[in-house]
């Protein structure tokens, strides 16, 4: 047999959210934090037009999209680096610091790809337990040592939906050594309604060791095309570009992302609808007797412990797919009202 890296014997592959179906055929996929809405007509039109050029390689530098992102957020184009979804950009960030002996700090539980990406990059994960479902920034600061090269702060946190607020985040950043890169993973930023939760772009500007990671997959509804980006000072963005696989962001993804930025007002109206449904779902769960942490993302979190897999199975019988983390809890994406009602009915039956 061929010889492979030893780390592959100890790691599990990333498991995406799955779909299920009830005996009567009903199926509601609330396991992947996707937008419940179809792409906007203007975005579909841009994709259709772009399809006429798929016999050609995409722009390897994604110049037009880079400039569109830079213009939208008022940053230099040299501060923007793109990748095939924010998880791939996260992988590129790991690769920029990854070498033997390096440590990367992040909260746990947080985005489940972090350990996988750390292992593949050959770095050591330092997982700091959540405190009441939130980042324990004091403990994370204390975990930083001479071997630390990077820290991830997922805000809002996936899968709990909880956040860190401006004052505590600024105090944390003040404690991080200047040579340690802090990645503010803001994949769900557009769903935030708490004014005390900072926009990471207001923090990175005068902090050269801070960058902001975002995606077009969630609020912009382009999960199937894979576009993510990081905004950081030029040395950070340059390092990320060096780890980019050639032509990583395909042509259709580039044109769809540009069209989505042009239609942002219309898209964010849909985000407002998701936020309203989020409030409705959480309040209904609380009224059923569940303990549900406040969430600023497009999902809710139920701490279920040993009942987690039983809960997921009960939801599956009703055609509702949720994202279980065995022994811990379940994350449930906010879908359209029909899907959310089906989930709430399943949750009410299980609670009884």
State whether residue 302 is helix, strand or coil. Answer: strand
DSSP state of 13: P
Question: Which of 103, 187, 184 has the alpha carbon at shortest distance from 149?
Answer: 103
Backbone phi, psi, residue 127, to 5°: -95, 120
State whether residue 66 is helix, strand or coil. Answer: helix
pLDDT for position 352: 54
The HSE-up count of residue 47 (CA atoms within 13 Å, CB side) is 14
Burial class (CB in 10 A: 0-12, 13-18, 19+), 161: buried
Question: Which of 261, 259, 251 has the alpha carbon at shortest distance from 62?
Answer: 251
Which residues sit opposite 127 in a β-bridge? Answer: 106
The HSE-up count of residue 46 (CA atoms within 13 Å, CB side) is 20
pLDDT for position 93: 98
Rounded to an integer, what distance in angstroms lies between the CA atom of residue 347 and that of residue 310? Answer: 11
Rounded to an integer, what distance in angstroms lies between the CA atom of residue 240 and that of residue 78? Answer: 11
pLDDT for position 193: 98
- For the chain of 352 residues, list the mean pLDDT of each consecutive stretch of 10: 85 78 88 94 96 96 97 98 97 96 98 96 97 98 98 98 98 98 98 98 98 97 97 98 95 98 94 98 97 98 97 97 97 98 97 62
Give the H/E segment covering residue 215.
Answer: strand 210-215
pLDDT for position 16: 75
Q: Domains plus CATH for the chain?
A: 6-39+264-349 (3.90.1150.10), 41-261 (3.40.640.10)
> pTM value?
0.96
User: Are the C-beta atoms of 156 and 133 separated by less than 8 Å?
Assistant: no
Rounded to an integer, what distance in angstroms lies between the CA atom of residue 236 and that of residue 240? Answer: 6
DSSP state of 335: -
């Amino acid at each position: 047999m061929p010889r492979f890296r030893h780390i592959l014997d100890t790691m599990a592959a990333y498991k995406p959210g799955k779909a299920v179906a009830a005996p009567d055929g009903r199926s509601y996929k609330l396991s992947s934090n996707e937008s419940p809405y179809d792409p906007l007509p203007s975005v579909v039109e841009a994709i259709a037009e772009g399809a006429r050029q798929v016999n050609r390689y995409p722009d390897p530098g994604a110049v037009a999209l880079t400039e569109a992102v830079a213009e939208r957020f008022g940053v230099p184009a040299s501060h923007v680096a793109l990748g095939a979804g924010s998880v791939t950009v996260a992988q590129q960030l790991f690769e920029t610091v990854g070498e033997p002996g390096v440590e990367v700090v992040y909260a746990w539980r947080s985005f489940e790809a972090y350990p996988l990406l750390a292992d593949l990059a050959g770095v050591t994960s330092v997982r700091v337990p959540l405190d009441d479902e939130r980042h324990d920034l004091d403990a994370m600061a204390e975990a930083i040592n001479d071997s630390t090269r990077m820290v991830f702060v997922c805000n809002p946190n996936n899968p709990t939906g909880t956040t860190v607020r401006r004052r505590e985040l600024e105090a944390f950043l003040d404690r991080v050594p200047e040579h340690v890169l802090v990645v503010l993973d803001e994949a769900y930023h557009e769903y935030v309604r708490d004014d005390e939760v900072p926009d990471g772009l207001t923090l990175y500007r005068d902090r050269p060791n801070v960058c902001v990671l975002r995606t077009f997959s969630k609020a912009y509804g382009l999960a199937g095309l894979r576009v993510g980006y990081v905004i950081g000072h030029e040395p950070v963005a340059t390092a990320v570009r060096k780890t980019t696989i050639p032509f990583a962001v395909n042509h259709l993804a580039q044109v769809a992302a540009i069209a989505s930025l042009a239609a942002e007002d219309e898209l964010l109206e849909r985000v407002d609808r998701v936020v309203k449904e989020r409030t409705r779902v959480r309040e209904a769960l609380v009224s059923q007797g569940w303990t549900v942490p406040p969430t600023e993302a497009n999902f809710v979190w139920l701490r279920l412990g040993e009942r987690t897999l039983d809960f997921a199975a009960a939801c599956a019988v009703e055609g509702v797919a949720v994202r279980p983390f065995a022994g811990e809890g379940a994350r449930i994406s906010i879908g359209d009202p029909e899907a959310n009602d089906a989930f709430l009915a399943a949750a009410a039956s299980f609670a009884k």
